[in-house]
Amino acid sequence: MKNKESQNINLGIIDLGYRENEDSLSSFSSIIDYAVKAEEYNYSRFWLAEHHYTHIQNHPYTNPDILISLIAGSTERIKIASAGTSINLYTPYATVTTYKLLNNLFHDRIALGLSKGLPDSQYIQNASGVGIHNNYEKFQENFKEIIDLIENEEENLKSKSILIPPYKGLKPELWHLSTNFNAFFSTLSHDLNHCISVFHNFGQDINNLPFNKEDIEKNKEEFYKIHHKYPKLIISLAIIMDHTLEAAIKKQQDLVELASENFKDTFIMIPCTIDSLYELLTNWKEKFGIDEFVIYDLAPTNDEKINNLKNISEKFSLIHAYETELSR
């Protein structure tokens, strides 16, 4: 029996790249296979996180730009995004030229997520011209310049001789990545979508999230008055799934024991079954007025991730929704 009430929920996937017992190059093939299956099972988006790990020596990449192009070339419909680009590590010009070109090469499927995260390595920060003390100021400066380069194409060409090919081409979707809705409320004047992560732990209670549906709806209406459209809003979460909640909790405890102290302190993992995940997201949809979610699955192997993709898609009727669209 289909879950009719879940058909208005869109689900995306976020991948951090790591695969257990795979070397870096093998992981690339696994990530691409995972994205292809996400499209097959009718997930809305596939996000790739940028990370500059020093403790995971078989991690396949740092910046996801090249991998995004490989995934886009291996798929046809699914939206693909950086989650997010650490914009303080690159010039706004370099970031915009890359993502505008990618979005035009791949038929308006590429999105740019804006993040103020920085590598732990002081060497990388210094090499990129970023210091820990001016991170926020530099983020604000780069953030505004990226928006300007994308939104004011003609004016920048006339007044600054800046041409970002293809001229008058498709603009990539911009997403502001944050851990709460304050970023959304404070950036209404910009044409930005927002993805709110609840797996980055900055003191929030996962069972009592400090989100207010009335404030979200009010600000969506304010956004509409300015931009004549509604913003896309997404909540992202990290899950550990098993057939029983007890088994999922045991997996969570095992991961926490193996994890570094920094990971334990800053990362929230939600143990769940397929049914409890369904209950959680349908509840959040009603409680916050959000109908799209992005899932980070902590299953260690690609086979497990793909099996979970299929089961979640079936539970939320994603495949059924796509088949219905095709039949119209």
CA-CA distance, 16 to 34, in Å (whole number)?
12
Burial class (CB in 10 A: 0-12, 13-18, 19+), 209: middle
Q: How confident is the model over 187-211, as a mean pLDDT? A: 88
* Listed residue (167, 186, 174) closest to 112, CA to CA: 174
CA-CA distance, 184 to 233, in Å (whole number)?
9
Instruction: Name all contacts of 146-152 with Cβ < 8 Å and 24+ positions apart.
Output: 146/87, 146/92, 146/95, 146/96, 146/112, 146/114, 146/174, 147/174, 147/190, 147/191, 147/192, 149/92, 149/93, 149/96, 150/96, 150/100, 150/174, 151/191
Rounded to the nearest 10 degrees, what angle do helices 302-315 and 318-327 cross at? 60
In eight-state DSSP terms, residue 200 is B
In the chain, where the domains are located: 4-327
What Å distances lie between residue 202 and 112, 132, 199, 249, CA to CA?
A: 24, 18, 9, 21
- The residue behind tokens 């999922």 is 248
Q: pLDDT over 70 for what percent of the chain?
A: 89
Which H or E element spans position 5?
Answer: none
Bigger pLDDT: 323 vs 270: 270
Structure tokens of 25?
């190059």
Instruction: Give this prediction's pTM.
Output: 0.91
Structure tokens of 24?
């870096």
The confidence score (pLDDT) of residue 120 equals 73
How sure is the predictor about 1, in pLDDT bands with cuts at 50, 70 and 90? very low
* pLDDT tens digits, 235-281: 999 999 999 999 999 999 998 887 765 555 678 999 999 999 999 99
User: Architecture of domain 4-327 in CATH?
Assistant: Alpha-Beta Barrel (3.20)
Number of residues assigned to the chain: 328
* pLDDT tens digits, 296-308: 999 999 999 999 9
* pLDDT tens digits, 89-126: 999 999 999 999 999 999 999 999 999 877 777 777 77
